[in-house]
Amino acid sequence: MSVITDVRFRRIFDSRGRETLEATVETARGFRGTAGGPSGESTGTHEVQAFPKGGVTEAMATAARDLRPALVARDVADQAGFDAKLHEVDGTENFSRIGGNTATALSLAAALAHAAEDGRTLAESLGAAAHPSQWPAVVGNCLNGGRHAIGGPDIQEFHAYAPDATPLEEVRAAIAVHRAVGEAIHKAYPTLALGRGDEGGWVAPIGNIEALEILTAACASVRDTTKLPVYPGLDLAASEFYSDGKYRYKDRTLDSDGQVAFVAELVDRYDLRYVEDPFDQEAFGPFAQLTAAVGSKCLVVGDDIYTTKRSRLGRGIAEKSSNAILIKVNQVGTLTDTLATVALAKANGMATVTSHRSGDLPEGWLAHVAVAFGSAGLKCGLLGGERVAKLNELLRLGGATEAPH
């Protein structure tokens, strides 16, 4: 048994410059794990609450007063017991007393400390094969809209989806698409000052269809030059523009059936291989209609609809709502809760895509959990230190070393 001797908390900043909290777990043998809690902007209604009412200040005070004494002297190898203790001390349904970000930071810090004790990577410690036969596809944000980019398209994220290659090839292909998208926008609007959104994708005052045309052409040109499979994908984050039973785009308003037909047509026309949250977060039925229509050729991914919750995934499985689920640890707050959802997905043949948040941190643990979960995708953006940290960690796991010359 290796005992936890100290638990500390620190106020830090995320990639949007907002305050969050990081935790350090230290063991008797002097090993440490440190992790922070990332934050979403287009959060799902069913996520745990990131911070208590009093924000980071209250989270820090509660953690020091109530959590530290409950966690010191525990066995660091007992992740399930550690995570259960977080729930016990919190005592609410949604971590609203200690804060979901406190729980996430602690759960990951404990897992990292345990891995360090054993001299293993987090991925190995969580059960990943030393040489996985299949690496997660890189799902990388090339163009931002919605709540992640002021003045951009209504659709929140335009992705390069790069599967079925080595981590290095996937990262290269996805970044090449990002670059080609930037060049295409610059060519179409030579005097426009181009910026980047919260997840590192380009921001430009263009519509959804124009953005898709540019993305699709960029993917095709990268496929041509690299011979690597890289295809367009979307996260519509449709709950953000759904109200009173309608999907309200700047240039069109669609009812539920209209939205099913519109998205199915986009999948066909642009050969989309990845479509996330094309419907409102309660729309299990329309999700199932789309999955029946395009699920054989495209990952239909549920994010806000499931919020990584086992019970909501259970409903999605029963109703055949999607063929994939997005996994974000801080939507449920602990590794143990996340693992339970991943296990249910696996048992039912549903793919998992492990994901960052729009307000993230320059930490690499996400790549480890994606590999350990056997995820079909790692969705972590492409540019910006907090995104590159995860891609580079995937490369380290992928053994991308080159002989000296």
Catalytic residue set: 199, 328
Decide: is 240 part of the binding site for ligand PGA (CB under 6 A): no
- Nearest partner of 305 among 335, 274, 328, judged by Cα: 328
- Those residues whose C-beta lies under 8 Å from the C-beta of residue 316, and which sit 6 or more positions away, are 284, 287, 302, 305, 306, 322, 325, 350
Q: Which residues contact 151 (CB under 8 A, 6 or more apart)?
A: 203, 205
Taking CB under 6 A as the binding criterion, the range among 58-66, 78-86, 353-361, 367-375 that sits at the site for ligand PGA is 353-361
What amino acid is encoded at 356 in this protein?
Answer: H
- Name the one range near ligand PGA by CB under 6 A: 48-56, 79-87, 278-286, 350-358: 350-358
Binding partner of residue 357 among Zn ion, ligand PGA, none, CB cut-off 5 to 8 Å per kind: ligand PGA
297 CB burial (10 A radius; 0-12, 13-18, 19+): exposed
Applying CB under 6 A, which of residues 357, 368, 387, 390 lies at the interface with ligand PGA? 357
From candidates 169, 303, 337, 363, binder to ligand PGA by CB under 6 A = 303
Distance of closest approach, residue 115 Cβ to ligand PGA, in angstroms: 25
Closest CA to 173 of 221, 130, 207, 214: 221
335 lies in the binding site for ligand PGA (CB under 6 A)? no
Site for ligand PGA in 39-98 (CB under 6 A): 40-43
For ligand PGA, which is the closer residue by CB, 82 or 242?
A: 242
Q: How far is the CB of 303 from Zn ion (least distance, A)?
A: 4
Q: How far is the CB of 145 from ligand PGA (least distance, A)?
A: 11
Residue 41, C-beta contacts closer than 8 angstroms, at least 6 positions apart: 16, 147, 148, 198, 358, 359
* Closest residue to ligand PGA: CB criterion: 40
Q: Which stretch binds ligand PGA (CB under 6 A): 38-46, 58-66, 80-88, 361-369?
A: 38-46
Q: Which is nearer to ligand PGA, 117 or 280 (CB)?
A: 280
Amino acid in position 166: T
Binding piece for ligand PGA, criterion CB under 6 A, among 25-33, 81-89, 280-288, 355-363: 355-363
Beta bridge partners of 242: 247
Residues 24/49, Cβ–Cβ less than 8 Å: no
Minimum distance from residue 387 beta carbon to ligand PGA (Å): 12
The smaller minimum CB distance to ligand PGA, of residues 302 and 398, is found at 302
- Return all residues near 14 (Cβ < 8 A) that are at least 6 apart: 20, 36, 38, 39, 359, 360, 361, 386
Site string for ligand PGA, 97-136 (x = CB under 6 A): ----------------------------------------
Whichever of 52 and 384 has its CB closer to Zn ion, that residue is 384
How far, in Å, CA of 170 to CA of 216, rounded?
17
Instruction: Give the C-alpha separation, 4 to 114, whole Å.
Output: 10
The site partner of 43 among ligand PGA, Zn ion, none (C-beta below 5 to 8 Å per kind) is ligand PGA
- By CB under 5 A, tell whether 235 contacts Zn ion: yes
Max intra-chain CA distance, the chain: 63
Quick one: what does residue 40 bind among ligand PGA, Zn ion, none, with the CB cut-off 5 to 8 Å set by partner type? ligand PGA
Footprint (CB under 5 A) of Zn ion, residues 293-312: 303
DSSP H or E run through 1: none
How far is residue 286's CA from residue 275's CA, in Å, rounded to a whole number? Answer: 13
User: By CB under 5 A, what part of segment 315-334 binds Zn ion?
Assistant: none
299-302 and 195-196: which strand pairing? unpaired
Letters for 261-280 (x = contact with Zn ion by CB under 5 A, - = none) are ----------------x---
Give the binding site for ligand PGA (CB under 6 A). 40-43, 235, 237, 303, 355, 357-358
